[in-house]
Amino acid sequence: MELFEHDETLRKAPRDPASVPLAERVRPARLEDFVGQQHLLGEGSPLRVFIEKSEIPSMILWGPPGCGKTTIARIAAGQSGSHFFQLNAVSSGVQEVRRVIERAEANRARGKRTLLFIDEIHRFNKSQQDALLHSVEDGVITLIGATTENPSFEVISPLLSRCLVYVLHPLTEQELNMVLDRAIGSDALLKGQTVRLGEKERAALMLLAAGDARVMLNGLESALRLIKPSPGGDRTVTVRAIEEAFQRRQPKYDKGGEEHYNIISAFIKSLRGSDPDAAVYWLARMLEGGEDPKFIARRMIILASEDVGNADPQALVIATSCFTAVDYIGMPEAR
């Protein structure tokens, strides 16, 4: 792994554009080009003010995939003139963190600031996060951590207390349309073509992307590769090509994270409110996302005992029998 592949100027070695995903090719480099997160980056909003003044605090960016966490970190580094280092918590450890800190200390001696971006910071264990504490507190590095999980659960308290936490939201349909238009109009490979994209096709992209701009753009690029150009070189995107490119919509569900608790809570509240359609929907979301059916059955036993109780004594018997059956036969028959 080349630790310092994203160095101070954010310049990269020349690459064949065709080998770079569309989402990366059109990644914004300026605040003016960034779409979404107006509560943080709109005029006068806190994060925008910090970036414009080149006074970047250490922070945790918490939000779903494809909402702009990495882009914000790169824009902040570019605006502030900081040396920029990027680590992925999945493939990095304490040794890599210490190497960045050594470089940061040398930078500070020369009057230069260092910004360290750690993607998926929730994957760092306690000792790895501990290695950051002293340098963040002393200002040797400015830390920007990106996570899809609730940082209150996944980031150690001493590090969390040294960082601001900003919540990012999935992009709206209007924002996704803006991203789409800019990509088609500005990408070096697409702007030389005539890409025809109707309202139905846009709606299909939005549905399958589920607020994730990266998924949407890379799905569009895959769909374009499946389409044979007309004699004039035009490419007309079809719903069929989009569906073939995506194959299926991947429900956003992390059985070890925030969505795990949000969805089981929605399921229980739907049962409590006697809304069978909503209950079946949330149940399907969990099963499709890979949730352990025994966990769901246990929660139904608790519901039958605490919420139904003596109003229907058979509810507890039925829920317990359901758990026993699920335990014996497992998936997929337990559905």
The domain spans of the chain are 17-167, 173-246, 258-329
For 17-167, CATH number out of 1.20.120.1200, 3.40.50.300, 1.10.645.10, 3.30.70.890 equals: 3.40.50.300
The DSSP bridge partners found for residue 239 are: none
Reported as a pLDDT band with limits 50, 70 and 90, residue 295 is confident
The predicted-structure confidence for 68-96, as pLDDT tens digits, reads as follows 999 999 999 888 888 899 988 888 888 88
User: Which amino acid appears at position 147 of this protein?
Assistant: T
For 173-246, CATH number out of 3.40.50.150, 3.30.530.20, 1.10.8.60, 1.10.3760.10 equals: 1.10.8.60
**How, if at all, do strands 83-88 and 164-167 pair?**
unpaired
Of 52, 89, 56, nearest to 100 by C-alpha is 89
- Range 272-293 average pLDDT: 86
- Range 214-225 average pLDDT: 85
- Range 31-41 average pLDDT: 89
For residues 87 and 117, the answer to whether their CB atoms sit within 8 Å is yes
Q: Is 120's pLDDT higher than 80?
A: yes
Query: What fold does the segment set 258-329 form as a domain?
Result: Zinc Finger, Delta Prime; domain 3 (1.20.272)
Predicted TM-score (pTM) of the model is 0.72
Q: How many Cα atoms within 13 Å fall on the side-chain side of residue 282?
A: 18
For the chain, the C-alpha Rg in angstroms (whole number) is: 24
For residue 98, report the phi and psi dihedrals to the nearest 5 degrees: -65, -35
Task: Report the 3 state secondary structure along 2-60.
Answer: CCCCCCCCCCCCCCCHHHCCHHHHCCCCCHHHCCCCHHHHCCCCHHHHHHHCCCCCCEE
Of 124, 123, 102, nearest to 114 by C-alpha is 102
Report pLDDT for 123.
Answer: 85
Highest-scoring range by mean pLDDT, 5-14, 54-63, 190-199, 259-268: 54-63
Q: Is 5's pLDDT higher than 50?
A: no
Report CA torsion sign: 140, 7, 54, 69. negative
